[in-house]
Structure 1
Amino acid sequence: MKVVLTTVKSASVTVDEQLISEIDRGFLLLIGAEKGDSEADVTRLSEKISKLRVFEDSDGKTNLSLADVNGEILAVSQFTLAADVRKGNRPSFTQALEYQEAQILYEFFLKKLRDAGFKTLPGVYGANMAVSSINDGPFTLILRSQNGILT
Structure 2
Amino acid sequence: MKAVIQRAKNAQVVVEDKIVGEIDHGFVVLLGVTHDDTIDDAKYIANKLVNLRVFEDENDKMNLSLKDVGGSVLSISQFTLYGDTKKGRRPNFLQAAKPDVANELYETFNQLVAEENVTVETGVFGAMMDVQFTNEGPVTLIIDSKESK
Q: CA deviation at 1:35?
A: 1.3
Q: How do 1:57-96 and structure 2 match up within 5 A?
A: 57-96=57-96
TM-score w.r.t. structure 2 length? 0.97
Preserved contact between residue 143 and residue 150 of structure 1 (Cα < 8 Å): no
Q: 1:131 corresponds to which letter in structure 2?
A: V
Count of residue correspondences: 149
For residues 16 and 44 of structure 1, the distance between their equivalents in structure 2, rounded to whole angstroms, comes to 33
Partner of 1:24: 24
CA RMSD of aligned residues (A): 0.9
Corresponding position of 1:122: 122
Counterpart in the other structure of 1:46 = 46
- For 1:109, what is the secondary structure of its paired residue? helix
Report the AA paired with residue 129 of structure 1: M
* 1:100 pairs with 2:90: no
Structure 2: gaps spanning 5 or more residues: none
Deviations 1:50-108 (A, max 9, x none): 11100011111100111111101100000000101111111010000000000000000
Matching residue of 1:150: 148
Query: Following the alignment from structure 1 to structure 2, what is the Cα–Cα distance between the partners of residues 7 and 98?
Result: 29
* CA distance in 2: counterparts of 1:150 and 1:22, whole angstroms: 30
| 2:50 alignment partner, SS class | helix
Percent of pairs with identical residues? 42
The offset of 1:37, in angstroms, is 0.8
Q: Which has the higher helix share?
A: 2
**Structure 2: distance between partners of 1:57 and 1:39:** 32
Task: State the SS of the aligned residue for 1:45.
Answer: helix
CA contact (8 A) 1:25 1:72 kept: yes
Q: 1:44 Cα deviation (Å)?
A: 0.7
Q: CA deviation at 1:150?
A: 2.2
Aligned structure 1 segments of 4 or more residues deviating by more than 3 angstroms: none
Instruction: Show structure 1 runs of 5+ residues with no match.
Output: none
Counterpart contact for 1:7–1:137, Cα < 8 Å: yes
Q: Distance in 1 between matches of 2:73 and 2:125?
A: 16
> Which residue number in structure 2 is paired with residue 113 of structure 1?
113
Partner Cα separation in structure 2 for residue 58 and residue 150 of structure 1: 31
Alignment-mate amino acid for residue 99 of structure 2 = Y
Measure, in 2, the Cα distance between the counterparts of 1:20 and 1:77. 14
